[in-house]
Structure 1
Amino acid sequence: MVKVGVVGYGVIGQRLADGVALQKDMELVGVADVSPTLAIRALKEKGMPYNFYLGMPENLHMFEELGIPVSGTLEELVQKTDIILDATSAGVGAKNKELYAKYNRKAIFQGGEKNSVADVFFHGYANYEKGLGKQFLKLTSCNTTGLIRSVDCLDREFGIEKVAITIIRRVADPGDYHRGLTNALQIDKAPSHQAVDLMTIMPHINATGILVHTPVTHGHIITVVATPKKKISKEEAIECFKKHPRIRVVRIADGFLGNASLFRYARDLGNPRGDMYEIALWEESVVNSGDDIMYAINIPQEAVTIPETIDGIRAALMMQPDRISATSETNKYLGMGKWIQK
């Protein structure tokens, strides 16, 4: 049984812990953080389903005052694990890497860290084999993760030469206040980092893109114009997407009008926190433009990277030898692809 620790129990860390706990071939040793945040207070109120380790021992008195049990230090957690999932704030993971290296432990970092922190910039479907046996992996960002899922899906079936994307980006996660309350759109200079990151993972594809920040919190939307090596019909593209266990094809006609509809649907399904591991792709958005194929996807930013992170565990520890067997195991335990009609 592979032993896993999660460092940073925030938006991503909570979901990583839950995702690992669902894997029947992994054991979640514990989670770590530095202060009694709302997430950790909620963990205590839920009965401490996960052992908690403290990243800053000098803050122990804060936890004692709140009656939050502490199982040990971050260093002790690292020693008990085979691999660490680092979900700390950008820059902190690079510092933590020294501790992981000290004990010769493997680690997976999230998209906020610089690519230089890891041996491989990783995606479970697009380049799983490159992560096999590596000590340090880094995940793509939420937008890039979902974008690559859809482009890789088409590329493996038909071959893709280039893509042009527009990202309509949520301004902050639900509950965040640090970006302020706005009634404006803000555009970044092109190309967006997601397009550059896609080319890093999939160097055979030429990509560019524009990013627009929007004052919403429940998900990003990306429009993609893909140029195939041979012309793809709308029907062929939709059929290809419908077979992918991490892409949910939805219809505007059925009431999926936008990102809020998907968030509400996830809550109606009973998904914890209203999470969705899969990206959604609107069937009515798939159109041909000359030889190009265009479509729009929804990126549930809080949970979309969880499956690919778990794929990373499988690659780094060589649990499965290839992307098909690895992603299939991850999908099975996370319950992904249940919506696919057999």
Structure 2
Amino acid sequence: MEKIKVGIAGYGTIGQRLADGVALQKDMELVGVADLVPTLAVRALAEKGMPYRLFLGDGADKEAFQRLGISVSGSFEEMIQASDIILDASPAGIGIKNKNLYEKNGVKAIFQGGEKNSVADVFFHGYANYEKGVGMDYLKLTSCNTTGLIRAVDCLDRAYGINKTAITIIRRVADPGDYHRGLTNALQIDKAPSHQALDLMTIMPHIQATGILVHTPVTHGHIISVIVSGKQKITKEMALKSFRLHPRIRVVSIAEGFLGNASLFKYARDLGNPRGDMYEIALWEDSIVESGDDIMFAIHIPQESVTIPETIDGIRASCRMQITSKEGTEKTNEYLHINHEQQA
């Protein structure tokens, strides 16, 4: 079977990780990555020996790359023409402009969560609505918080059925290395309901969802408190059984030393994961509480890497590599080595 050729627009926080993720897929070929300026990420790519080919978007200062000795393989449009599908990881609002080039060249594309839903045919999640993306030309991923939230809610919904959910998101204010949000010593609350709750209902319209979001002056990960109302009473033991069977949910506990977001980031580095990334969301066993007929739990969202598996699921769906969620997600998990074993 001929490999699917994948190009990546934007080599920033997400683009770097998408490139690494696609490069691990044995049934895909990474054509290259495209960017406009020699950012630190691009300079690091060059210093590592240019493992991925670099293409330049319109308006890029070619001389700036030449002065740094960074080799360039061609234009953004040339990368598009050599690809079957583009993963657009450009800044929010740029993807919709890039779509004109994708349509002109007859190439499929997957957009990240920052773009408006109207940019795509399907608002996509690898577990919750994979089949809706099969064969579609343009998909849009959910945001990092929504991606992880849906994993957990969909997990329980498939096992027991869910009527509604209410969430509180403790949101990191910026990615590591970002300075544009300033230096703060404050929390900021958004107007309810949060977009993550609304997005969940778009993907899973049979569930009522609402939520509150609080911005916090930290960088390594979000924490979401989730309350779920099942079609039947879900006990802690029932929830744990399902969570432990989900390959993209890592069940952890405070007793083990996972005290919060920093513990998980350090653990990922100790595992030797590149950049301290973790594809799985973490779910605290200690946080699972039964409240009447409802159940409550807390999850950690590694915002820089959590959407990578679902994006690769999107390639599989859009290009009809696998036509069911089970087949597609299992193949993605296999190549990304998401195979940690958990005691039931």
Tell me which interval the TM-score lies in, with the shorter structure as reference length. Answer: over 0.9
Secondary structure at the aligned position of 2:255 is classed as helix
- Pairing 1:173-212 to 2, within 5 Å after superposition: 173-212=175-214
Give the structure 2 partner of residue 101 of structure 1.
Answer: 103
Quote how far apart the aligned CAs of 1:340 are: 2.8
Secondary structure at the aligned position of 1:252 is classed as coil
2:56 aligned to 54, 57, 61, which one? 54
CA distance in 2, matches of 1:57, 1:210: 40
Quote how far apart the aligned CAs of 1:337 are: 2.8
Quote how far apart the aligned CAs of 1:57 are: 5.1
CA distance in 1, matches of 2:251, 2:337: 16
Give the structure 1 partner of residue 285 of structure 2.
Answer: 283
* CA offset digits 1:61-117 (Å, max 9, x no partner): 111111000000000000000000000000000000000000110000000000000
1:248 aligned to 238, 247, 250, which one? 250
1:302 aligned to 278, 301, 304, which one? 304
Give the structure 2 partner of residue 87 of structure 1.
Answer: 89
Unaligned stretches of 5+ residues in structure 1 = none
Is the CA contact (8 Å cut-off) linking 2:251 and 2:342 kept in structure 1?
Answer: no
Give the structure 2 partner of residue 70 of structure 1.
Answer: 72
CA distance in 1, matches of 2:47, 2:8: 19
* Amino acid in structure 2 at the alignment position of 1:52: L
Aligned residues: 342
Give the structure 1 partner of residue 216 of structure 2.
Answer: 214
- Pairing 1:27-42 to 2, within 5 Å after superposition: 27-42=29-44
Q: Does 2:319 correspond to 1:317? A: yes
Give the structure 1 partner of residue 339 of structure 2.
Answer: 337
* CA offset digits 1:189-223 (Å, max 9, x no partner): 00000000000000000000000000000000000
TM-score normalized with structure 2 length = 0.99
Percent of paired sites with the same residue: 74
* CA offset digits 1:210-243 (Å, max 9, x no partner): 0000000000000000000000111110111000
Secondary structure at the aligned position of 1:253 is classed as coil
Quote how far apart the aligned CAs of 1:339 are: 3.1
- Pairing 1:133-282 to 2, within 5 Å after superposition: 133-282=135-284
Secondary structure at the aligned position of 1:77 is classed as helix
Unaligned stretches of 5+ residues in structure 2 = none
1:121 aligned to 106, 117, 123, which one? 123
CA distance in 2, matches of 1:58, 1:291: 57
CA distance in 1, matches of 2:265, 2:9: 27
CA distance in 2, matches of 1:338, 1:213: 31
Is the CA contact (8 Å cut-off) linking 1:248 and 1:339 kept in structure 2?
Answer: no
* Amino acid in structure 1 at the alignment position of 2:294: D
CA distance in 2, matches of 1:337, 1:280: 14
Quote how far apart the aligned CAs of 1:135 are: 0.4
CA distance in 2, matches of 1:155, 1:174: 34
Is the CA contact (8 Å cut-off) linking 1:220 and 1:299 kept in structure 2?
Answer: yes
Distance 1:332 1:58, change over 3 A: closer
Kindly report structure 1 stretches of 4+ aligned residues shifted beyond 6 Å: none
